[in-house]
Amino acid sequence: MILGPIHLQFLNMDIDNGPEVPVPVSGTGVDIEQSFLQQFSCMGTTDKDELIQQLQKLVGSQLNYSTAAFFLDMNNWNLQAAICSYFDIESPCPLPSMKLISDPVASEHTDVEPNVRFTKSWNLVNSGTEKWPANCYAQCSDGDNFGADRVPVPSLDPEEGYHLAVDMVSPTVPGIYQSKWRMCTDIGTYFGDPMWVIVTVVEEGTVALTNQLSHFNELGALPPPTSNYNPFSPHQIHIGHNPDTAPPDGKDTSMF
């Protein structure tokens, strides 16, 4: 049999095409479909900070940044799945209760010089009916942390109080700074009243000058009025009457 040009062309095409493409076996199409679904579920999630903020807004202020990122990452940055996972884990366990028992407004404002160590303290109490879980801590949730890290807090019984003190360092640039602190569970969930710190950083020497001026004002103040007591003054003599010896008619008959 003599092969014509057309037959040779088809043979060359078969040879040049190389190995035959394998047909997908059973289950391979399902795997490809799942892969595409996973890719579609992750589409539009490049702005992870926005997703974290949306999750915090929907769940509540008790969810901090790191915990929100954890639930989103666990669910391939799917917002709906992250919300479901959060409530599945958090719903069975009620949050602890905490209230400030000292007036936060009276001591939240502090005047310090740049780069000076100072201590901020709060008096708090377990206002709930259950003991706090272990490994609770306080940390800065917003604003300047003043160089302070998380501070461990013991597990408090109901109605038990605690004096929380945090060592801080003032910023180097003069100005007004604020910091918001919250109590956290061991997984980073916020609970209780917020704790505020407002610091006014002034120029070096300003605090000492203010104290000196205040001392000078005390020295220049008028002395308190003094009373000149005269024991012989008629207004200072008090004659007492014994009701047991006074007559019923009010007349003194001892002279008669």
Who wins on pLDDT, 25 or 56?
A: 56
* Paired residues of 175 in beta bridges: 201
Q: What is the enclosing helix (H) or strand (E) of 217?
A: helix 206-220
- Strand pairing of 175-184 and 161-169? unpaired
CA pair distance 52, 64, nearest whole angstrom: 9
Pick from 82-96, 164-178, 183-197, 219-233: least confident: 219-233
Pick from 134-148, 149-163, 177-191, 231-245: least confident: 231-245
Cβ pair 119, 166 in contact under 8 A: yes
- Amino acid, res. 231: P
Average pLDDT score over the chain: 75
DSSP state of 108: S
Residues 182-194: tens digit of each pLDDT:
999 998 899 999 9
Q: Where are the chain's structural domains? A: 37-92, 99-201
Residues 200-242: tens digit of each pLDDT:
999 876 655 555 555 556 555 566 665 555 555 555 444 445 5
- Amino acid, res. 182: R
CA 11 vs CA 4, 19, 168: distances in Å? 11, 14, 83
DSSP notation for 113-174? -TT-EEEEEEEEE--SSSPPPTTEEEEEEEE--TT---EEE--PPTT-EEEEEEEEE--SS-
CATH label, 99-201, candidates 2.40.50.100, 3.30.300.20, 2.60.40.10, 3.30.470.160? 2.60.40.10
- Amino acid, res. 30: V
